[in-house]
Amino acid sequence: MIKRFKSAIAAVAVSLAMLSQLAVAAEEQFFPLIDYRVGPYGSNGQAFYGGFIDYLNYVNLKEKGVNGVLMTYEECETEYNNAKGVECYERLKGKAAKSAGPLHTMSTGISYALVDKSAQDKLPLAMMGYGRTDAVDGSVFPYAFPLVTTYQMQASAIVKFIKDKSGGSLAGKKIVYLYHDSAYGKEAIVALNAEAGLNKFEMVQIPVAHPGNEQGAQWLRIRQEKPDYVIFWGWGVMNQTALKAAQKVGFPRDRMIGSWWTGSEEDVVPAGEAAKGYMAATWNVAGKQVPVIADIEKVVYGAGKGNLQDTSKIGTVLYNRGVSAAVLSVEAIRKGQEKYGKGKALTGEQTRWALENLNITDARLKALGATDLLPEIKTSCANHEGSGKVKIQQWDGAKWVPVSGWIEGNKSLVHPLFQASAKQYALEKGITPRDCSKEK
Amino acid sequence: MNFFLEVLIGGLLSGVMYALVALGFVMIYKASGVFNFAQGAMVYLAALSVVGCLEKGAPLWLAIILAFVIMTLFGIATEKFVLRKLVNQPPIALFMATIGLAFFIEGLAPMIFGSEPRALELGIVDEPIPWILDNWNMVISKFDLVAAGVAAVLVATLALFFQYTRVGRALRAVADDHQAALSIGIPLQHIWAIVWGVAGFVALVAGMMWGARNGVQFALTFTALKALPVLILGGFTSVPGAIVGGLIIGASEKLAEIYIPPVMQDLFGGNFGGIEGWFPYVLALLFLLVRPEGLFGERHIDRV
């Protein structure tokens, strides 16, 4: 009798212990962060991933995760090196097999290296403002998402901005395209050529060899060409060098418009006075006036859980870009839970579906405190970009100030270029594209 | 013609900036016969030290002195902890040690001073000289002229130092043969510490000029890439050679960047710009075929 009583007590104790454990171990949504905080572009990564992680912590602190599912992450340092990026992916993919948010590498090179692998492993790869742009065509690239906007749509939007500034016509104008002589720099050429044909302006292409810390010859040529505008596609030290060189030859900075990788504080502060008046495209605004940014500082840093040691980066372009990327990622988790069950962590495959069915309206952005932080996004199987809009911002010597509303690139001109490129890729790889009309 | 002259002068002035970095390589090579792979990283460390001290509230003159102290201490530490054990080892062992040193500096410097790119204001505006612009319609930067002046003073000082001081002569003796220098009583460790300290000073000057021009950031380590063809042309052991090599490389790469792509484009179509990244290396390789020791390098003759 006593023996049976003891067994019953033991069984109850074990059951209680298991129950309590279940109660404690909430579901966790894992984000594999293939990031970089040291090396040549370490300071860019610090701000971006700092913002990303701060938002994940913000969701955990503010609303105890998404429907009770806590956001977790593990970082792996790539130093912006492609080989290390692949190594990090291999290291984290095992852990991501159970649950996975989108991968964010903030590197075109690493993204290219992971496009095929991530599709095989069914892990969604987000490439927000970088990476393989023809992945806009989700019928060929189901697991790759060049979200928000692409280089080509950005270039088209910049041309539209210049056109508006020039009184609605670019006919007879001359635009120099000064670019980093790499795959990144060359991405926009196809769109700019198409725009030049359509708008009848002359485009002069001037490449700059990596790393771009010497541009004397290029800027003397620009001086000789006397262009109306310079569209500028730089990276790293090339950005400050270009601004200083423009000052040296007396080219007005307010007629230079850069890509979003030339438009952060890191790009202009080292150029000092030479950067004043310079403009750049962006798909996320800077500043702490965005409610969610101010609230992150209050909630996350107030609780001592902020990711950045240098809190002066909060509200910078790249910090806010990291928050924007996290907002989209967390909204994808929310969307996925609506389909696959609230309170459950999503697998990579489920997150992929969610990323393909995003619909983040202005009303939703307002509810998130992210009004104007980023444009509205609506993705589909046929359109993994979801927006194609940018703002133009201007450096006033101390901060970036938006000088335009959201400008959408010429989709009817640019998207067929993606489709043609994706079709070619499918042929080379023997991929049978999905029928997007059958996707739900 | 005016444009040609403008490109030529701009190139010559850029070449002076390359020569500033090349001088640091020459210093180490003259004293130890080793190509110092860490020179670019030293330029970065020196410039970071200056902006780091400025951010702590030091005035510019004090920041420069403090950075010089940091670079000297770094030179002494390099001798004590890296090179001392490698006396009489083959040059490749010393070369490998400098590769390790480069990675060490590239990791340590941003940990201490932060990695975000920063401006360095020396009070010299990088703008064209109005008089030349108005009268000749040519862009010649005040900053580039100051850099040329700094390089001239530096070269003259170093040339005198090597030719006419006891330490300078000892340095050359050490470079020829470690063991022979030791046997006649030259204190090798002492000499190496001095030369690394002087190389640190040269890196400081180069770091300040490049940092003021493009901002202080990791990319300063890449300046070493520009110094390599300069050294091949000028010779690894010649201080004036670094300057002449710099001028040739600077002028030729700028002229090539402007005048070769249009010709190639006419012949083959497509876009051939951005050649200044590789053109200096091709030029240096061609030069190697004709004069392997460089313009001013010492011809190496072995008895058989």
Position B31 scores a pLDDT of 76
Return d(Cα A347, Cα A352) in angstroms, integer.
Answer: 9
Mean pLDDT of chain B: 88
First to last CA, chain A: 61
Contact B274 A181 (CB under 8 A): yes
Q: pLDDT tier at A12 (50, 70, 90 boundaries)?
A: low
Return d(Cα B181, Cα B164) in angstroms, integer.
Answer: 18
Nearest residue on chain B to A240, alpha-carbon basis:
B214
Residue percentage of chain A with pLDDT more than 70: 94
Residues 6+ apart with CB under 8 A from B47: B120, B204, B207, B208, B210, B211, B216, B220
Segment A216-241 shows an average pLDDT of 93
Segment A179-198 shows an average pLDDT of 93
Partner residue facing A211 (CB), from B7, B116, B219: B219
Return d(Cα A437, Cα B251) in angstroms, integer.
Answer: 60
Alpha helices in A70-150 (DSSP H): 82-96, 108-121
A431 within 8 A of A425, measured Cβ to Cβ: yes
Contact A237 B253 (CB under 8 A): no
For B247-287, write each residue's pLDDT tens digit.
999 999 999 999 998 888 888 877 777 788 889 999 999 98
Please indicate whether residue A103 or residue B86 has the higher confidence score (pLDDT).
Answer: A103
Q: pLDDT tier at B292 (50, 70, 90 boundaries)?
A: confident
First to last CA, chain B: 54
Q: Kind of pairing, strands A174-180 and A144-145?
A: unpaired
Contact A247 B127 (CB under 8 A): yes
Q: Does B262 touch chain A (CB under 8 A)?
A: no
Q: Is the pLDDT of residue A387 over 90?
A: yes
Burial class (CB in 10 A: 0-12, 13-18, 19+), A232: buried
A356-385: burial string, b at 16+ Cβ within 10 Å, e else: bbbebeeebbeebbbebbbbbbebebbbbb
Q: Of B15, B37, B71, nearest to B207 (Cα)?
A: B71
Chain A stretch 11-70, residues whose beta carbon is closer than 8 A to a beta carbon of chain B: 38-43, 46
Nearest residue on chain A to B258, alpha-carbon basis:
A217
Compute the nearest-CA separation of A411 from chain B (Å).
27
Please indicate whether residue A275 or residue B304 has the higher confidence score (pLDDT).
Answer: A275
Angle, alpha carbons A187-A191-A197 (nearest 5°)? 145
Angle, alpha carbons A425-A408-A103 (nearest 5°)? 50
Lowest mean pLDDT among A14-23, B13-22, B84-93: A14-23
Return d(Cα B1, Cα B136) in angstroms, integer.
Answer: 11
Q: Which helix (H) or strand (E) holds A215?
A: none
Q: pLDDT tier at A30 (50, 70, 90 boundaries)?
A: very high
Contact A271 B226 (CB under 8 A): no
Q: Residue A328: beta bridge partners?
A: none
Partner residue facing A271 (CB), from B107, B119, B275: B119
Please indicate whether residue B172 or residue B77 has the higher confidence score (pLDDT).
Answer: B77
| Chain B residues touching residue A205 (CB < 8 angstroms) | 271, 273
**Phi, psi (degrees; rounded to nearest 5) at B114:** 90, 150
State ipTM.
Answer: 0.86
Q: Kind of pairing, strands A389-395 and A279-282?
A: antiparallel
Angle, alpha carbons A198-A201-A205 (nearest 5°)? 110
Contact A209 B278 (CB under 8 A): yes
Compute the nearest-CA separation of B97 from chain A (Å).
20
Contact B257 A237 (CB under 8 A): no
Contact B218 A250 (CB under 8 A): no
Segment A265-293 shows an average pLDDT of 95
Return d(Cα A342, Cα A126) in angstroms, integer.
Answer: 23
Position A22 scores a pLDDT of 44
Q: Is the pLDDT of residue A434 over 90?
A: yes
For A146-168, write each residue's pLDDT tens digit.
999 999 999 999 999 999 999 99
A281 within 8 A of A231, measured Cβ to Cβ: no
Q: pLDDT tier at A23 (50, 70, 90 boundaries)?
A: very low
Position A216 scores a pLDDT of 87
Q: Of A28, A55, A21, nearest to A345 (Cα)?
A: A28
Single-letter amino acid, residue A331: E
**Phi, psi (degrees; rounded to nearest 5) at A351:** -65, -40
Segment B156-165 shows an average pLDDT of 85
Segment B77-103 shows an average pLDDT of 87
SS3 A256: strand
Position B225 scores a pLDDT of 83
Helix B39-55 crosses helix B188-214 at what angle (to 10 degrees)? Answer: 60
B301: left (phi over 0), alpha (psi -120 to 50) or beta: beta
Q: Does A214 touch chain B (CB under 8 A)?
A: yes
Return d(Cα A261, Cα B195) in angstroms, integer.
Answer: 41
Partner residue facing A220 (CB), from B10, B275, B277: B10
Q: Does B146 touch chain A (CB under 8 A)?
A: no
A322 within 8 A of A48, measured Cβ to Cβ: yes
Q: Is the pLDDT of residue A3 over 80?
A: no
In this structure, what DSSP letter does residue A300 have? I
Q: Residue A359: beta bridge partners?
A: A378
Q: Kind of pairing, strands A359-360 and A377-378?
A: antiparallel
Q: Is the pLDDT of residue A24 over 70?
A: no
Compute the nearest-CA separation of A107 from chain B (Å).
17
Q: Is the pLDDT of residue A14 over 70?
A: no
B206 within 8 A of B20, measured Cβ to Cβ: yes
Q: Is the pLDDT of residue A11 over 80?
A: no
Residues 6+ apart with CB under 8 A from A281: A154, A157, A158, A257, A258, A259, A260, A263, A390, A391, A392, A393
Q: Does B277 touch chain A (CB under 8 A)?
A: yes
Position B275 scores a pLDDT of 86
Query: Residues for chain B: how many in total?
Result: 304
Q: Is the pLDDT of residue A18 over 60?
A: no
Contact B117 A40 (CB under 8 A): no
CA B256 from centre of chain: 22
Return d(Cα B48, Cα B207) in angstroms, integer.
Answer: 8
Q: Is the pLDDT of residue B174 over 50?
A: yes
Position A288 scores a pLDDT of 95
Position B172 scores a pLDDT of 79
Position A348 scores a pLDDT of 97
Tokens of A375: 């444009």
Tokens of A194: 């198409």
| Chain B residues touching residue A46 (CB < 8 angstroms) | 115-116
Residues 6+ apart with CB under 8 A from A256: A229, A230, A232, A242, A243, A246, A278, A279
Partner residue facing B222 (CB), from A211, A250, A271: A211
Q: Which helix (H) or strand (E) holds A402?
A: strand A400-402
Nearest residue on chain B to A251, alpha-carbon basis:
B127
SS3 B272: coil
Alpha helices in A200-236 (DSSP H): 216-225
Tokens of B61: 């003159």
Contact B126 A247 (CB under 8 A): yes
Q: Which helix (H) or strand (E) holds A44?
A: helix A42-63
Mutate to test the interface with A, among B3, B257, B259, B260 (most CBs of A within 10 A): B257
Nearest residue on chain B to A249, alpha-carbon basis:
B139
Position B15 scores a pLDDT of 92
Position B91 scores a pLDDT of 82
pTM confidence score:
0.88
Partner residue facing B3 (CB), from A205, A224, A310: A224
Segment A161-185 shows an average pLDDT of 95
Q: Of A385, A436, A412, A439, nearest to A139 (Cα)?
A: A436
Q: Of B214, B206, B260, nearest to B230 (Cα)?
A: B206
A39 within 8 A of A81, measured Cβ to Cβ: yes
Lowest mean pLDDT among A25-34, A56-65, A83-92, A425-434: A25-34
Nearest residue on chain A to B261, alpha-carbon basis:
A206
Contact A270 B215 (CB under 8 A): yes
Tokens of A176: 């120099």
Return d(Cα A287, Cα A290) in angstroms, integer.
Answer: 7
Position A19 scores a pLDDT of 47
Cα torsion through B125, B127, B133, B136, rounded to 10: 90
Q: Does B117 touch chain A (CB under 8 A)?
A: yes
- How many inter-chain contacts (A to B, CB under 8 Å) are there? 119
Tokens of B197: 């300290």
Q: Residue A73: beta bridge partners?
A: A31
Q: Is the pLDDT of residue A135 over 80?
A: yes
Chain A stretch 226-265, residues whose beta carbon is closer than 8 A to a beta carbon of chain B: 236-237, 240-241, 244, 247-250
SS3 A208: strand
Q: Of A264, A262, A265, nearest to A241 (Cα)?
A: A262
Partner residue facing A220 (CB), from B6, B121, B218: B6
For B26-78, write each residue's pLDDT tens digit.
888 887 778 899 999 999 999 999 999 999 999 999 999 999 999 999 988 98
Mean pLDDT of chain A: 92
Return d(Cα A80, Cα A184) in angstroms, integer.
Answer: 14
For A303-343, write each residue's pLDDT tens digit.
999 999 889 999 999 999 999 999 999 999 999 999 999 99
